[in-house]
């Protein structure tokens, strides 16, 4: 590479790597090492580091200490305007959505789950843990609690390939009418970090969601953990008209 073009060397390296990300590399692939990039581009270590730092700032790559630099999952813009499931969200971005099921079991409902699902004391729930993947890359770690009569049916289904929302509505005659959401920025604990293949302490969106069927009956309580660098939630909110007294 040469600086005679008037474009700084680090930008030339950055642009070349961006082109490579589009053509040759997929999310989760490891970038060449600093030494390999220095040799490939014929530039200094400082130049390579600045180019890679710029890619990281653009959320195109993720550097994992002691392991290297990896292609980041595509950042997903998710509007919060209607109730949708993970598969629907990913398909809207042209991404293949899959799941890796970690746990399916019936357990006594913890107090917070019992309250969310409006269940009596002593109730059981079906507890499901899944890693949700987009384009083969882990994006969300989901803990789902279902009311017992539906959970026992869902537990027999193929949750690796079939989303719970679709199963509830199309196979088990349970239309989903609306949901409540609570979003919080947290850091990944050891379980979440392992599931999402990220560092402990990394940024995560934690979402509590309660889905309701007809009659305002809660049927599904979830705690979702999304990789912080993988998704941006968006919404558009109307402003209520000011009352006549507001300006007085």
| Chain segment 154-173, per-residue pLDDT in tens | 999 999 989 999 999 999 99
Give the CATH number of domain 76-234: 3.40.1410.10
Q: What is the pLDDT of residue 92?
A: 79
CB-based contact 90:48 (threshold 8 Å): no
Q: 47: which 2 tokens?
A: 């130049």
Structural tokens at position 76: 């997903």
In whole angstroms, what is the distance from residue 161 CA to residue 37 CA?
A: 39
pLDDT value for 246: 58
- With a CB cutoff of 8 Å and minimum separation 6, the contacts of 55 are 14, 17, 18, 61
Enumerate the β-bridge partners of residue 186. 204
Tokens of 163: 């989303």
Average pLDDT over residues 44-70: 88
| pLDDT for 71 | 85
Q: Which CATH number fits domain 8-71: 3.40.50.10680, 1.10.10.10, 3.30.530.20, 3.90.1150.10?
A: 1.10.10.10
CA proximity to 142, closest of 128, 155, 158: 128
In Å, how far from its chain's centre is CA 62?
Answer: 15
The sign of the torsion formed by the CA atoms of 79, 144, 86, 64 equals: positive
**Same-fold call for 8-71 versus 76-234:** no
pTM of the model: 0.72
Short-list 189, 233, 186, CA closest to 205: 186
How do the domains of the chain map onto residue ranges?
Answer: 8-71, 76-234
| Rounded mean pLDDT, 113-136 | 94
How many other C-beta atoms lie within 10 A of the C-beta of residue 188? 22
Confidence band for 205, pLDDT divided at 50, 70 and 90: very high
Residue 178 has pLDDT above 90, yes or no: yes
Contact between residue 46 and residue 40 where contact means Cβ atoms under 8 Å apart = no
pLDDT digits (tens, 9 = 90+) for 34-55: 999 999 999 999 999 999 999 9
Helix (H) / strand (E) element for 98: namely: strand 97-108
Q: How far apart are CA 185 and CA 208, in angstroms?
A: 12
CA 189 to chain centre: 15
């Amino acid at each position: 590479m040469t600086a005679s073009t008037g474009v700084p060397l680090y930008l030339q390296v950055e642009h070349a790597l961006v082109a490579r990300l589009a053509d040759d590399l997929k999310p989760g692939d490891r970038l060449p090492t600093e030494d390999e990039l220095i040799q490939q581009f014929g530039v200094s270590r400082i130049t390579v580091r600045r180019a890679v730092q710029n890619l990281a700032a653009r959320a195109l790559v993720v550097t994992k200490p002691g392991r290297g630099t990896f292609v980041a999952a595509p950042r997903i813009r998710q509007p919060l305007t209607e109730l949708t499931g993970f598969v629907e969200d990913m398909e809207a971005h042209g991404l293949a959505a899959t799941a890796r099921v970690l746990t399916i079991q019936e357990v006594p409902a913890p107090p917070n789950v019992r309250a969310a699902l409006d269940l009596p004391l002593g109730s059981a729930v079906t507890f499901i843990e899944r890693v949700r993947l987009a384009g083969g890359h882990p994006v969300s770690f989901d803990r789902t609690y279902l009311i017992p009569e539906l959970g026992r049916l869902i537990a027999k289904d193929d949750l690796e390939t079939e989303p719970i929302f679709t199963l509830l509505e199309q196979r088990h005659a349970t239309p989903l009418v609306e949901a409540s959401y609570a979003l919080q920025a947290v850091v990944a604990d050891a379980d979440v970090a392992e599931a999402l293949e990220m560092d402990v302490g990394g940024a995560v969106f934690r979402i509590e969601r309660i889905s309701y069927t007809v009659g305002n009956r809660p049927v599904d309580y979830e705690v979702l953990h999304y990789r912080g660098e993988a998704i941006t939630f968006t919404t558009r909110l109307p402003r209520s008209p000011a009352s006549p007294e507001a300006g007085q």
